[in-house]
């Protein structure tokens, strides 16, 4: 498959108002792509679009305000996108949310909220826009999974379930779309400095002090600039990489799970355990995943 060509094509990016999505929007505009940007945060989305229009007045920038937790709203947005953009060269399903808490500490509604945004909206948008991708020669699909689509630590049942689902969905699509000439990339970011930890929900049954201890642990890992992550992703797209891992915080756990697929949890527990007064040990951190927010 030939290298991906950015100039002159239309790129759709979800979760484009901040974090990796915002950085991808800037990077795509610099590479000559027209943009369709989706997010639920109207103020931030408008600011991103305005900044890109100033820096790249020759780019076409279209924005759509949508809450991907609302299945009907997501379907309506997808239908409108397909009507207005019958040929799409790149679709990046980036939007995501996090929920801190073990399975027995979260409600079913809280769990399914994560699944709806992180996985089902990816399926909905991809299903609706796949004909537009197939209609554009040299098109490409990018789904942002996670470090927690490679490993599944305690306290991340909902998030890991959603991101492993994205990974499996993406890998199957990669095999299915070969003959259509559509490239497919699964992305697994490690510790990216975004708003996801600060904006995550806390499971109803999680003690606040337990969540805060875990959140502080994870925030120490958020060291990679979103702009750097976006550049790694876009280089992977250009080269048609099937899988992109960002940072050693993703690459080392990927190696760990290959070496110890059934026992890596004990190693993770040793690495993330928080020391408490009087020699007591805190529970497993239940803070959110380390990448980005919707």
Buried-state track 97-116, b at ≥16 Cβ within 10 A, e below 16:
bbbbbbeebbeeebbebbbb
Rounded Cα–Cα distance for residues 290 and 28 (Å): 23
Which residue has 């100033």 as its token pair? 54
Strands (E), the chain: 10-14, 34-39, 61-65, 90-93, 99-100, 140-144, 183-189, 201-202, 243-246
Burial of 199 (0-12, 13-18, 19+ CB in 10 A): middle
Q: Which of 112-126, 168-182, 200-214, 232-246 has the lowest mean pLDDT?
A: 200-214
Residue 174's Cβ-side half-sphere holds a number of Cα atoms within 13 Å equal to 18
Query: pLDDT tens, 5-19?
Result: 999 999 999 999 999
Q: Enter the tokens of residue 41.
A: 């945060």
DSSP state of 278: G
Select the highest-mean-pLDDT range: 102-111, 201-210, 250-259.
Answer: 102-111
| CB distance 204 to 108 below 8 Å | no
**pLDDT at residue 137 above 50?**
yes
The band of 252, judged by pLDDT with boundaries at 50, 70 and 90, is: confident
Q: Enter the tokens of residue 167.
A: 């990974």
| CB distance 225 to 247 below 8 Å | no
Of 143, 140, 101, the C-alpha closest to 118 is: 143
**Confidence at residue 198, expressed as pLDDT on a 0 to 100 scale:** 57
What is the average pLDDT across 279-291? Answer: 41
Neighbours of 153 (CB within 10 A): 22
Question: In the chain, what percentage of residues exceed pLDDT 70?
Answer: 84
**Confidence at residue 267, expressed as pLDDT on a 0 to 100 scale:** 77
Per-domain residue ranges of the chain: 10-271
**Confidence at residue 44, expressed as pLDDT on a 0 to 100 scale:** 97
The band of 292, judged by pLDDT with boundaries at 50, 70 and 90, is: very low
Q: Which of 36-45, 195-204, 236-245 has the lowest mean pLDDT?
A: 195-204
**pLDDT at residue 205 above 50?**
yes
Rounded Cα–Cα distance for residues 136 and 129 (Å): 11
Rounded Cα–Cα distance for residues 60 and 32 (Å): 10
Indicate the SS3 state at residue 137. Answer: coil
**Confidence at residue 277, expressed as pLDDT on a 0 to 100 scale:** 33
**Confidence at residue 225, expressed as pLDDT on a 0 to 100 scale:** 85
**pLDDT at residue 223 above 70?**
no
**Which sequence positions are flagged as catalytic?**
159
What is the average pLDDT across 86-107? Answer: 94
| CB distance 116 to 71 below 8 Å | yes
CATH class assigned to 10-271: alpha beta
What is the average pLDDT across 154-159? Answer: 92
Rounded Cα–Cα distance for residues 109 and 39 (Å): 22
What is the average pLDDT across 174-199? Answer: 84
| CB distance 95 to 21 below 8 Å | yes
Strand order in the sheet with 243-246: 61-65, 34-39, 10-14, 90-93, 140-144, 183-189, 243-246
């Amino acid at each position: 498959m030939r290298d991906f060509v950015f100039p002159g094509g239309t790129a759709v990016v979800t979760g484009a108002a901040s974090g990796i999505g915002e950085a991808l929007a800037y990077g795509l505009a610099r590479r000559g792509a027209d943009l369709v940007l989706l997010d639920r945060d109207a103020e931030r989305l408008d600011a991103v679009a305005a900044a890109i229009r100033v820096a790249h007045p020759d780019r076409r920038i279209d924005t759509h305000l949508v809450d991907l937790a609302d299945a009907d709203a997501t379907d309506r947005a997808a239908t409108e996108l397909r009507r207005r953009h019958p040929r799409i060269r790149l679709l990046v399903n980036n939007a995501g949310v996090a929920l801190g808490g073990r399975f027995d500490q979260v409600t079913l509604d809280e769990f399914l909220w994560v699944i709806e945004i992180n996985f089902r909206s990816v399926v909905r948008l991809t299903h609706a826009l796949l004909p537009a991708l197939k209609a554009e020669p040299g098109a490409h699909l990018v789904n942002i999974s996670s470090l927690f689509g490679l490993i599944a630590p305690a306290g991340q049942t909902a998030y890991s379930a959603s991101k492993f689902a994205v990974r499996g969905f993406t890998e199957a699509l990669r095999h299915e779309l070969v003959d259509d000439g559509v490239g497919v990339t699964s992305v697994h970011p490690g510790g990216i400095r975004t708003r996801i930890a600060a904006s995550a929900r806390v499971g109803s049954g999680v003690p606040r002090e337990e969540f805060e201890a875990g959140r502080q642990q994870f925030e120490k890992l958020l060291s990679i600039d979103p702009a750097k992550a976006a550049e790694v992703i876009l280089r992977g797209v250009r080269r048609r990489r099937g899988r992109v891992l960002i940072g050693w915080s993703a690459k080392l756990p990927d190696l760990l799970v290959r070496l110890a697929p059934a026992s890596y949890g004990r190693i993770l527990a040793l690495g993330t355990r928080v020391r408490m007064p009087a020699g007591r040990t805190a529970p497993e951190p239940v803070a959110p995943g380390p990448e980005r927010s919707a």
